[in-house]
Structure 1
């Protein structure tokens, strides 16, 4: 199975030419993730920025999302949760197909505009370990922010 990115159905079928996230240099850890639509983020507010992406990975991996440093410094933007966590079972969930949305907060004094196709975040695939007495819980039932929802 490995890992990678693909488009959710809405974006895969809209006929627009888009590029899947890529690492920009040989030693880059992160895959640059772009906004799927132009999004306005008022000063002091948080907005969900759609990426149009979903990601698949092995069951013992996670995709970590961080804001690109240039967006933090130049546009005063940050991810609301500091680091986004995309679990392996988020892919193709029944609520939103696994659509990766970025909760972006504008901590600056003026509205910021993220243009469609503008790279705003980085995704880093990471292997993680489980505790010896791990309890895995139930099957995921929801989409964005749904880990506490049970079957």
Structure 2
């Protein structure tokens, strides 16, 4: 999988060198073109993980960007208006992530979203304690975190 990613990067750099324009959009187009070329060349290979993970990773990044924009707007609106809408609370979240890398990435993505902060991780590394600024429904928050963020992140990593 790493070999395919490095080959994809090499193909995108070759595309940028051939076109002579170093723009992000040109590099992204070269990356997508290289991804398509590698997919066509490796259709009959046994290991197809790379071709499933790249679209899932891009989808997750767009999802996270959307969530971050929504959270920033919510916090900004709360700061600008005279009435406060926040209802802080601490959630004890049982996670499915097992390895240190998975836990670290999950807690980083949770903490990057405005209005949430990781307070602690249990000794057995199964529970996250999360401070939430807008905790109107605890069960809804935990369900959205489990089904959206953690599930999508673990699909990419495993």
Which TM-score tier does this pair reach, normalised by the shorter chain? Answer: under 0.3
Could you state the TM-score of these two structures normalised by the residue count of structure 2?
0.20
Bigger radius of gyration, 1 or 2? 2
Whose RCO is larger (CA < 8 A, sep 6+)?
1
Q: Relative to total residues, which structure has the larger strand share, 1 or 2?
A: 1
Q: Relative to total residues, which structure has the larger helix share, 1 or 2?
A: 2
